[in-house]
């Protein structure tokens, strides 16, 4: 139907639907906790997460027709909104930082840039992740491997070394043959090379499942994101599958959800006025794109675990909250660029 095609340009634009108000809900800590005892107050140093997470979103926004207008009209305010000083984010040890969950109550705001220049970069662009603050601290780089049967992205903490064997290799993203399901691993060993107590075996950090809708890949996508739960000390429960039947995807398919959390993308709302699907990105996304998404927990759709959206042709903002770490969020973003799903 023609209505469907006219909207795919304008998918998930940044026009706001209604200001987000949060009633008293579960704290982020309790949403994601799966293992062990309830969080101990003194260890977690909770910063009243709902308040902190909400603070930047309390500016009431009026719906605006064009997603691109927002960026231009609100220059002075936007500079303030987008760049709150973030003394909290200290990247002293990069390797540790990118695997550590975001602190509760702090949104870590990043920018993804896509580099298509060079001989094979058209097919195999390199993606770079930086903190979106004045210092533009480099966090991660990712690129698809060339000779792999399925999509396989290497993630590195060095922008110039994207080799599998290098010491900067920090994780990878691997898809199934269809290109609809993805698994994110850290840099541990393959189960074939396990040591006696399996402590060196790679952890699965996340899995992403894309569902096609009735319009094929046109129109809003449906994403399911599966992540390990958190224990009583707000640390990620390690998931180290011994074989392919024990990974996050199989556990999710078999509804074996011990220590596993299921998240979804927030469904955009159809807006008659703009004839497009819209989501409220609070000024962080300026270009309409089917790649724009927000990931939420079913029990609290107002707590945004991660959001990703286009701000220029080859630039995207990527913001993540507790319990995600940078590697998880970046890999989820990379999965959304993948060829079989990509509909620019």
77 vs 233: CA distance, rounded Å? 38
* pLDDT averaged over every residue in the chain: 76
pLDDT value of position 53: 33
Residue 192 pLDDT > 80: yes
Residue 186 · residue 170 · CB < 8 Å: yes
In this predicted structure, the answer to whether residue 95 has a pLDDT above a threshold of 60 is: yes
Structure token digits, residue 328:
């998880």
- pLDDT-derived band of residue 213, with 50, 70 and 90 as boundaries? low
Q: What is the pLDDT of residues 275-310, one digit of tens each?
A: 777 888 888 888 877 778 999 999 998 999 999 999
d(CA 231, CA 285): 33
Say which residue, 8 or 180, is predicted with more confidence: 180
Q: The pTM is what?
A: 0.76
Angle at 179 between CA 213 and CA 184, to 5 degrees: 110
| Percentage of the chain exceeding pLDDT 90 | 42
Asked whether the bond before 323 is cis by omega within 30 degrees of 0, the reply is: yes
CA 335 vs CA 173, 230, 298: distances in Å: 8, 23, 21
Instruction: Please give the DSSP secondary-structure letter assigned to residue 56.
Output: T
- Dihedral sign (CA 85, 225, 46, 22): positive
Residues 152-167 have a mean pLDDT of: 88
- Domains contained in the chain, CATH given: 86-337 (3.20.90.10)
pLDDT in tens, 105-151: 999 999 999 998 766 666 788 999 999 988 899 999 999 988 788 88
Q: Note whether 186 and 173 are within 8 A (CB).
A: no
Instruction: Tell which residue, 292, 200, 288, 180, has the closest CA to residue 240.
Output: 200
Spatial CB neighbours of 204, under 8 Å, sequence gap ≥ 6? 183, 184, 185, 228, 239, 240, 241, 247, 248
Mean pLDDT of 92-114: 93
């Amino acid at each position: 139907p023609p209505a469907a095609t006219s909207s795919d340009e304008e998918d998930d634009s940044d026009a706001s639907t209604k200001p987000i108000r949060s009633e008293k809900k579960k704290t982020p800590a309790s949403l994601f906790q799966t293992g062990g005892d309830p969080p101990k107050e003194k260890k977690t140093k909770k910063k009243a997460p709902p308040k902190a997470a909400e603070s930047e979103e309390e500016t009431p926004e009026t719906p605006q027709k064009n997603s691109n207008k927002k960026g231009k009209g609100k220059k002075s305010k936007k500079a303030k909104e987008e760049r709150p000083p973030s003394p909290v984010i200290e990247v002293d040890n990069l390797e540790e930082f990118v695997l550590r969950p975001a602190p509760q109550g702090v949104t870590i705001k990043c920018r993804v840039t896509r580099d298509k220049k060079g001989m094979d970069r058209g097919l195999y662009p390199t993606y770079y992740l930086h903190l979106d603050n004045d210092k533009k601290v480099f966090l991660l780089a990712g690129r698809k491997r060339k000779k792999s049967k399925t999509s396989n992205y290497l993630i590195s903490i060095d922008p110039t070394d994207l080799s599998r064997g290098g010491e900067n290799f920090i994780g990878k993203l691997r898809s199934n043959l269809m290109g609809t399901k993805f698994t994110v691993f850290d840099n541990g060993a393959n189960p074939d090379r396990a040591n006696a107590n399996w402590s060196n075996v790679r952890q699965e950090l996340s899995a992403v499942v894309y569902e096609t809708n009735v319009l094929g890949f046109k129109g809003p996508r449906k994403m399911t994101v599966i992540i390990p739960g958190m224990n009583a000390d707000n640390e990620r429960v390690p998931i180290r599958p011994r074989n392919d039947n024990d990974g996050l995807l199989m556990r999710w398919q078999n509804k074996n959800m011990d220590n596993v959390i299921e998240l979804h993308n927030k469904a955009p709302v159809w807006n008659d006025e703009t004839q497009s699907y819209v989501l409220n990105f609070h000024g962080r996304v300026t270009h309409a794109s089917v790649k724009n998404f927000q990931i939420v927990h079913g029990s609290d759709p107002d707590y945004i675990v991660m959001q990703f959206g286009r701000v220029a042709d080859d630039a995207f903002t990527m913001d993540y909250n507790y319990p995600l770490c940078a590697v998880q969020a970046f890999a989820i973003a990379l999965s959304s660029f993948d060829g079989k799903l990509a509909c620019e």
